[in-house]
Amino acid sequence: MFNIDKKLARGWSRMGPRAVYGQILFELAKTNPNLMTLSADLGRSSGLDRLSKEFPDQFLNVGIAEQNLIGISSGLARMGFDVFASTFAPFASLRAGEQVRMNMGYMQEPVRLVGLASGFALGFLGNSHYGLEDVAVMRSIPGITVISPADCVELYKCIVASLSYPGPIYIRLTGGVNMPVVYDADYEFDILKADVLYPISDITVVSAGATLGFAKRAIDELRGEGADIGLVNVHTIKPIDKDFIYNLGSVCKTVVVFEEHTIIGGLGAAIIDALDAANIRSTQVIRCGVNDEYPKAGDYDYVLHTLGLDSMGIKNKLCEFL
Amino acid sequence: MLESKNISQSIRGKIVRKAFECGESSHLGGALSMVDILCVLYQSVLKYDVKDFQSEDRDIFILSKGHCVLGWYAALNEFGLMTDPVFDTFQTNGSDLIAHPVKNLSLGIESSNGSLGQGLSFGLGIALGIKKKAQNRNVYVLMGDGECNEGAVWEATATASEIGLSNLVAIVDVNNFRNDGLNLTYQNNKSLPAIWSAFGWNVIEVDGHSHDALNVAFRAAKNENGGPSVIIAHTVKGCGVSFMESNNEWHHNRITSNVYDKILAEWGRNV
């Protein structure tokens, strides 16, 4: 379908994950009549314009009705369709949270629910539209896999992998246009395996989503200055890769987690939970994200900067441990 | 073969017997009000295979007013779709049969319910999937009038008529009560038919205890090609047991041996 190379990665980065999501689904729809895409009046914001025009039978706008979105998507999934449903992250996880719980959790209907523009990607639209709690909510619902792709190439790998993955999935899109590129060549993507970008060492950064790209920029600079810092992409926040957790626990003294999410119940909390479940007490976890507050809104870069989640903030934070 | 009304009576007997035997509180009022609807559905409307609950051409039934599940289990047992040993596990620890439906395809239970207002969207999705696969099957979603207080119901009604799903039939068991008492919403339900109609549904109002009227209503619903149909079935909560009828004390209550004896005395026979 797509030949993954530097050019594609750069082009997709310019488009941003939402437009790329729509483009990927459009390509899939060409050969998969079983594919159904749904949205709660955010088809255009999901990049699904072209798909909805050229394959109208494979697209449904259920109206501004997220609860309905989950119910209908689940019924279609029950009927054997490959269902992708998309809306902004807080609406997917909170507005329709109980529908997600009943249909995707309790009944295990294999919907791929896509939380658009999570984190602070919606900038000036503010906290009503930010995805600050979606990971915590989704992670707490039994039997839902939670994936946060690092960039558009990983989003592609994730969507393709999801088609042969059993059970419901929440796919969290973060980052906007010109998001950092992490992957610019084809690579092995396994939903159940964390991807070690720089070997786990005394100090290791764990991240996911767009934040991983910002962290990688910071770490590239620090490594260039001679610092030994590991970096792991925990794209799948649930179920977490247990082998990775054991490796982390046996090598790493301090793991620093960066996430565009409240630190309550997010990726950092997932790492703490997993270390605890593995009875590993020797690894310290530092969580960097949103501290139980609604941050002052502004453009994406502004919010990242004020929270110390841009490359500069991440670098400064890491220097505390060097 | 029992007369249709006698089948209903037999289902009611199973409801009160099981409620008594389990020794726990059950949602009796709403279970008893929907008995005739279920009886007609399973007797002459739903397509199903007693030997294969997952047959590819079956109709789909969803009990969206999930708390009334005891009435459904009793009906399934009556129509040979649930064995006595399975039915006997109702509300026992670890059972598949608790006070709300839990999806169990091997038992013919298509959907988990209990959180009100969710069954219609799910049924809509299934009905849409059926249509896309060009199959000839219908989806029936049984709801309560109290359940129609849930906003999510109206999200589904709007979409179903917008996409013109003629294989989707909703039944509203209008017994006029909810947990706390009379359902005062929608002008005490008086405007409920007009509201469904305004959402673009074919509205059929019936006496929800008349098997003849229900049969006619279901045939009419099936013959509608223009879009989804709703059967607004006017019923009596607790129907069949004099002291439970329109007495919301029996919304969720326990049948003690005294009460059970009273019911048997009233019915003049064993159940």
CB of A104 less than 8 A from some CB of B: no
CB of A107 less than 8 A from some CB of B: yes
Torsion sign (Cα): A193, A196, A200, A203: negative
CATH (domain of A166):
3.40.50.970
CB of A102 less than 8 A from some CB of B: yes
CB contacts of A57 in chain B (<8 Å) are: 132
Phi-psi region of B80 (alpha: psi -120 to 50; beta: other; left: phi over 0): left
Residue A180 lies in a domain: no
Q: Both A162 and A203 in a single domain?
A: no
pLDDT tens, N- to C-terminus, chain B (271 residues): 568 899 999 999 999 999 999 999 999 999 999 999 999 999 999 999 999 999 999 999 999 999 999 999 999 999 999 999 999 999 999 999 999 999 999 999 999 999 999 999 999 999 999 999 999 999 999 999 999 999 999 999 999 999 999 999 999 999 999 999 999 999 999 999 999 999 999 999 999 999 999 999 999 998 777 899 999 999 999 999 999 999 999 999 999 999 999 999 999 865 5
Residue A186 lies in a domain: no
pLDDT tens, N- to C-terminus, chain A (322 residues): 899 999 999 999 999 999 999 999 999 999 999 999 999 999 999 999 999 999 999 999 999 999 999 999 999 999 999 999 999 999 999 999 999 999 999 999 999 999 999 999 999 999 999 999 999 999 999 999 999 999 999 999 999 999 999 999 999 999 999 999 999 999 999 999 999 999 999 999 999 999 999 999 999 999 999 999 999 999 999 999 999 999 999 999 999 999 999 999 999 999 999 999 999 999 999 999 999 999 999 999 999 999 999 999 999 999 999 9
Query: With an 8 Å Cβ cutoff, are B128 and A107 in contact?
Result: no
- ipTM of this complex > 0.90? yes
CATH (domain of B197):
3.40.50.970
The distance from CA B63 to its chain's CA centroid, rounded to whole angstroms, is 5
Residue A133 lies in a domain: yes
CB of B5 less than 8 A from some CB of A: no
**Which H or E run contains A66?**
helix A66-78
CA distances from B140 to A38, A249, B165, B187 (A): 23, 53, 12, 26
Instruction: Report the C-alpha gap between B174 and B169 in whole angstroms.
Output: 15
CB of B111 less than 8 A from some CB of A: yes
Q: Are B266 and B258 in contact (CB under 8 A)?
A: no
Q: Residue A170: name the closest of A251, A101, A250 by CA.
A: A101
CA distances from B112 to A74, A234, B101, B104 (A): 12, 32, 5, 8
Within chain A, strands assigned E span: 35-39, 59-61, 82-88, 112-118, 145-147, 169-174, 195-198, 203-207, 229-233, 236-238, 254-262, 284-290
- From B132's Cα to the closest Cα of chain A, the distance in A is 8
Beta bridge partners of A284: A254
CB of A86 less than 8 A from some CB of B: no
Query: With an 8 Å Cβ cutoff, are B126 and A102 in contact?
Result: no
CB contacts of A67 in chain B (<8 Å) are: 117-118, 121, 151-152, 155
Q: Both A111 and A245 in a single domain?
A: no
The distance from CA B107 to its chain's CA centroid, rounded to whole angstroms, is 17
Residues 113-132 of B with CB under 8 A from A: 113-115, 117-118, 120-130, 132
Instruction: Report the C-alpha gap between B34 and A147 in whole angstroms.
Output: 43
Instruction: Report the C-alpha gap between B101 and B65 in whole angstroms.
Output: 9
Q: Both A31 and A129 in a single domain?
A: yes
The angle formed by the CA atoms of residues A51, A55 and A56, to the nearest 5 degrees, is 100
Domain range for residue A157?
6-174
Q: Both A208 and A163 in a single domain?
A: no
Q: Both A215 and A140 in a single domain?
A: no
- From A115's Cα to the closest Cα of chain B, the distance in A is 20
- From B174's Cα to the closest Cα of chain A, the distance in A is 23
Q: Both A157 and A29 in a single domain?
A: yes
**Which of A62, A77, A80 is nearest residue B159 as measured by Cβ atoms?**
A62
Q: Both A65 and A109 in a single domain?
A: yes
DSSP string, A76-124: HHHTT-EEEEEEEHHIIIIITHHHIIIIIIIS----EEEEEEEBTTTGG
**The total number of structural domains that make up chain B:** 1
Nearest-Cα residue of chain A relative to residue B122? A71
**Which of B102, B129, B158 is nearest residue A79 as measured by Cβ atoms?**
B129
DSSP string, B105-156: GGGTB-----STT-HHHHHHHHHHHHHHTT----EEEEEETTGGGSHHHHHH
pTM score, whole prediction: 0.96
Q: Both A218 and A89 in a single domain?
A: no
Q: Both A205 and A140 in a single domain?
A: no
Domain range for residue B8?
4-267
Q: Both A208 and A315 in a single domain?
A: yes
- From A26's Cα to the closest Cα of chain B, the distance in A is 19
Residue A185 lies in a domain: no
The residue among A110, A139, A174 that closes a domain is A174
**The total number of structural domains that make up chain A:** 2
Nearest-Cα residue of chain B relative to residue A95? B152
In 3-state terms, what secondary structure has residue A317? Answer: helix
Residue A62 lies in a domain: yes
Cis peptide bond prior to A110, omega within 30° of 0: no
Residues 139-178 of A with CB under 8 A from B: none
CATH (domain of A311):
3.40.50.920
- Which token pair is A137? 């909510």
Query: With an 8 Å Cβ cutoff, are A78 and B152 in contact?
Result: no
Q: Both A150 and A119 in a single domain?
A: yes
CB contacts of B129 in chain A (<8 Å) are: 75-76, 78-81
Residue A16 lies in a domain: yes
